[in-house]
Chain A
Amino acid sequence: MKILSYNVRGLGTFEKRNEVRKLVTDNKPFVLCIQETKMGTVDEMLVSTLWG
């Protein structure tokens, strides 16, 4: 079991998404919990940029 938790302080910018993606590829968590996305809606597109 592996969980990654991150208060990202806004997921709007490309750099932040890239950082999260790097965290996911490096750590390969089962579940990823992000706080403070500062985004009204999250769509499939965004998730796929995070997880691929």
Chain B
Amino acid sequence: MLTVWDHSVVDVWTISSFGHVLVIRGRVLISNEEFIITNVYAPCDTALKQALWGRLQSLAILNVESNLCFSGDFNSIRTVAERKSRGSVFRQQDADIFNSFIDESFLVDLPLCGRLFTWYRGDRVSMSRLDRFLLFDKWCLTWQNCVQIALQRGLSDHVPLVLRSEEENWGPRPLRILKCWSDVPGYADIVRVKWSSFDVHGWGAYVLKEKLWLIKGCLKEWHQQHTLNMERRLCLVKDKMSNLDSKGETFFLDEAEVMEILELSEKLHSLSWIQASMSWQKARQNWLQEGDANTNFFHGLMSYCRRRNAIQLIQVNDVQVEGV
């Protein structure tokens, strides 16, 4: 076994090896993301494999928080569909221990693009998917949109596999506004004043783009002062109100206090209205809001959905079109 890396792209500081495994730890120079890449060449014997899965699983448990990837020839398949041969040589027990290793280590097994199998015996009849990349959830979050591609077969009876992640460029982020902002007094004024204060020169579309970008920053700041954390704002108003209420139960309130109660009640209503409007608008991204408390889980869910929905390959009249 051999692991080679490009010094100009990654920095590797630890190399270790144990039976059938070669581990490197390092980081990607540009993004500073750390990784553990494990090169695996599994034996054929079921008992030896089981022992190997055990060792890999303990490596996985020790490095739960890392960007960990197992890559190589696992000499195992997960389902009947991953092998094609003349006779039936599918060993359920073999697949079961491999599957439980993958499940118990919480590994992501990406679909294979380009081919169904990675190993082709010379008889042209037997073929299986013996090689693969198994990734940690964390890996998929760090390098999103990972795809596993089988390349052309060459001199070896195995196919080279590539795991790559591509940053999708969705263009500049759009300017989004909350409908409720217009219900807050002073909003229209601040937008008008800020908009005319920007001094941008150039052709029309450029000026518009720049001004939208500049106002986005102002609105963000304004949002933080006025409409951020409505829950807390409502609580404060309610607290003040109940203080005055309980005071009113035992004493007589003076005129100023009565006025304050009226003002507070009005404020409570308008804040509730703003909050409702905000929730209404955000309803579609509710899971994102909820996700703040459980980001990893929701990001995992999201990348899973994206993986599932991505179209890697289309077959048109027996012609396969990739990279669509």
Contact = CB atoms under 8 A, between A and B. Distances in A.
Interface of A: 1-9, 11, 15-16, 19, 23, 27-37, 42, 47, 50-51
B125 to A, nearest CB: 19
Given A34-B1, A36-B73, 5 more contacts: A16-B156, A30-B10, A34-B39, A37-B2, A50-B4
Contacts of A7: 41, 72-73, 119, 130-131, 156, 158
Contacts of A19: 154-155
Contacts of B133: 3, 5
A34 B35 CA distance: 18
A39 to B, nearest CB: 8
Interface stretch (B161-169, B265-273, B288-296, B312-320): B161-169
Given A30-B28, A31-B37, A36-B41, A6 B4 contact: no
Nearest to A47: B4
B37 A33 contact: yes
Given A3-B37, A3-B69, A23-B151, A32 B3 contact: yes
A6 B160 contact: yes
Interface of B: 1-6, 9-10, 22, 24, 28, 33, 35, 37, 39-41, 69, 71-73, 119, 130-131, 133, 142-143, 146, 151, 154-158, 160-165
19 contacts: A1-B28, A1-B35, A2-B164, A3-B69, A3-B163, A5-B160, A5-B163, A6-B161, A8-B158, A9-B158, A16-B156, A29-B162, A30-B6, A31-B4, A31-B10, A31-B37, A33-B22, A37-B1, A47-B4
Nearest to A16: B155
Nearest to A24: B4
A3 B168 CA distance: 18
Nearest to B7: A51
A5 B72 contact: yes
Contacts of B156: 6-9, 16
A8 B41 CA distance: 11
Q: Is the interface of B mostly helix, strand, loop or mixed?
A: strand
A32 B28 CA distance: 14
B1 A31 contact: no
Contact of B3 (A1, A9, A27, A31): A31
Nearest to B130: A7
Given A30-B9, A30-B28, A2 B163 contact: yes
B155 A15 contact: yes
A30 B157 CA distance: 24
A45 to B, nearest CB: 13
A23 B160 CA distance: 8
Q: Which of B2, B39, B119, B142 has the most CB of A within 10 A?
A: B2
A11 B35 contact: no
Nearest to A8: B156
A1 B143 contact: yes
A24 B119 CA distance: 20
A31 B5 contact: yes
Given A1-B165, A16-B156, A11 B73 contact: no
B155 A4 contact: no
Given A1-B28, A5-B160, A11 B2 contact: yes
A11 B158 CA distance: 13
A3 B73 contact: no
Contacts of B24: 31
B151 A35 contact: no
Contacts of A9: 155-158
